Amino acid sequence: MGALPASGGCQCGAVRYRITAVNAGSPHICHCRMCQRAVGGPFAALFGVPDEAIEWTHGAPAVWRSSAAATRGFCANCGTPLFYHGDDSGRFNLTIASLDDPEVFAPETQMGVEGKLAWFDALPSLPSRGETGSEDAEWAERIAASNRQYQPD
């Protein structure tokens, strides 16, 4: 598993966090329909952090009660999904991609497979269209020049 401490946050930088521990075996993909909608994608990639092992270092996430037993956190400014927190779980399940280095916590398991989209297993066989901007360098340059995304040090 990845190096600790680790940090992350939202796309615009209004909300930042630092973690000092991760629940063993927790990095996972959840295919359930609630997670799909919460992240706007075919699955949520999450990892567990004990409540006491997270510090919000800049700003604070907005929170929405997504069920009677859990809340979800996100940046109220840019909308980046940041976590799922079960009321009695004692941990935050943070989105892997919100880490400054999302490579450090690779998913180890899958859950919520009842919601797994039929085309998910075919993803590795899709043809590649290359790196960002390889089909339109001018467009990529305009995006890069006006990028408002937070860039960690």
Reported confidence tier of residue 151, pLDDT bands at 50, 70, 90: confident
The band of 147, judged by pLDDT with boundaries at 50, 70 and 90, is confident
123, part of any domain = no
Question: What would the pLDDT profile of 88-105 be if each residue is shown by its tens digit?
Answer: 999 999 999 999 999 999
Please check whether residue 47 is in contact with residue 92, taking contact to mean a CB–CB distance below 8 angstroms.
no
Q: Is the pLDDT of residue 1 over 60?
A: no
Cis geometry, peptide bond prior to residue 61 (ω within 30 degrees of 0) = no
Give me the mean pLDDT over the 61-88 stretch: 96
Within-domain flag for 122:
no
Distances (CA, A) of 103 to 21, 30, 46, 119: 16, 17, 12, 24
What are residue 40's phi and psi, to 5 degrees? 70, 30
pTM for the predicted model, two decimal places: 0.90
Using an 8 Å Cβ cutoff, are 132 and 140 in contact? yes
| pLDDT average, residue stretch 79-96 | 96
Q: What is the DSSP pairing of strand 16-19 with strand 62-67?
A: unpaired
- Does residue 126 belong to any structural domain of this protein? no
> Residue 153: pLDDT above 80?
no
Does residue 69 register a pLDDT over 80?
A: yes
CB atoms within 10 A of CB 19: 21
Which of 56-65, 123-132, 135-144 is the least confident region? 135-144
Query: Does any domain span residue 144?
Result: no
- For residue 92, what is the domain's CATH number? 2.170.150.70
Within a domain: residue 107?
yes
- Residue 153 within any structural domain of the chain: no
pLDDT band at 64 (very low <50, low <70, confident <90, very high): very high
Number of domains in the chain: 1
Tell me the average pLDDT across 100-112: 95
Region of 116 on the Ramachandran plot (φ > 0 left; ψ -120 to 50 alpha; else beta)? beta
Q: Is 133 among the domain residues? A: no
Domain that holds residue 15: 6-117
In a domain, 113, yes or no: yes
5: preceding bond cis by omega (within 30 degrees): yes
Average predicted confidence (pLDDT) for the chain: 93
